[in-house]
């Protein structure tokens, strides 16, 4: 039941520095097309690792800006 309600949008390796983890990301809400275009995929259909190159600590004004952007239905998605 939950798999139908929240389809798997991406499956692959999540890489941070020298570590990797196999993950599945499920679509929860928002713009499904933005999610499909944003997640990595190769031309041949294989899935490259999703690499995190930089982490940032969010200060309160930045958190407020992210919260405002999340309210725009067509420009965000939740996995």
Residue 33 located in a structural domain:
yes
| Structural domain for 26, as ranges | 2-44+55-78
Q: What is the pTM of this model?
A: 0.69
Residue 49 located in a structural domain:
no
The CATH code of the domain that includes 59 is 2.40.290.10
Q: What is the pLDDT of residues 2-52, one digit of tens each?
A: 667 888 888 999 999 899 999 999 988 888 888 888 888 888 988 899 898
Residue 50 located in a structural domain:
no
How many domains in the chain?
1
**What is the DSSP track for the chain?**
-HHHHS-EEEEEEEEETTEEEEEEEE--EE-HHHHHHHS---TTS----EEE----PPPHHHHHHHHHHHT-GGG-EE-
């Amino acid at each position: 039941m939950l798999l139908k309600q929240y389809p798997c949008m991406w499956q692959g390796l999540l890489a941070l520095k020298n570590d990797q983890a196999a993950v599945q990301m499920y679509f929860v809400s928002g713009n499904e097309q933005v999610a499909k275009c944003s997640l990595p995929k190769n031309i041949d259909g294989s899935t490259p690792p999703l690499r995190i190159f930089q982490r940032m600590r969010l200060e309160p004004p930045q958190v407020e800006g992210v919260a405002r952007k999340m309210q725009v239905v067509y420009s965000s998605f939740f996995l």
